Amino acid sequence: MEELKEKSLHPPKPPTVAAVPRTQFSNLDAEVQLAVRCAADKKATDIIVLDLRQIASFAEYFIIATGSNQRQVQAIADEIEEQLKKQVSTRPVRIEGYNTAEWVLMDYGDFIVHIFNKEAREFYDLERLWRDAGKVSLPENL
C-alpha cells in the first residue's frame, strides 16, 4: 500500500540560525582601527570589516573598501601602509595587485585589507563568500 504523505500549501520554515553578535569598532586592535580610519580619510566607500575569528585561522579580520579609480585605490593603499608604519611600526607581510589597482590585497598577518575598484568588488563579492563571518559595527563619523 502506498504511503500517504501530508501535503501543505506552506513550505516548511528553515531552522532559525542564531545571529552572530556584532563586534564593536572600539574592541578592534589599534592597527585595524587605524587602517579603517586611513581608508576613510582617503574617501574609500562601502568600508566594511568582517570578523573572521570564529571561522578562519589565517586572519582575524578582513577590511574591505572601494576606491573609485586606479589612483584612489593606490592612494588608499599608500595611506594605510604609511600610517601603520609611522604610527604603530607595522609593515605588511605582502602587498598584491598594487600596479593594476583593481584589487589591492595588503596582508598584515592578523588582518587583511582588500581595496577594490567598483567592478572588481562586485565581481568577487567577498561579502557573499564570507557571509558566515561576523560583522563589525563601524562608527557613523568615519
Going along the chain from its start, the domains and CATH numbers come out as: 23-137 (3.30.460.10)
Region 74-78 average pLDDT = 98
pLDDT value of residue 106: 98
Position 56 pLDDT exceeds 90: yes
pLDDT score of 7 more than 90: no
Give the CA count within 13 Å in the CB-facing half-sphere of 18: 2
Residues 65-77 have a mean pLDDT of: 98
Measured distance CA(19)–CA(15) in Å, rounded: 12
Residue range 29-51: mean pLDDT, rounded: 97
Assess whether pLDDT exceeds 70 at residue 61.
yes
Per-residue pLDDT for 16 more than 90?
no
Q: Residue 9: its pLDDT value, please?
A: 63
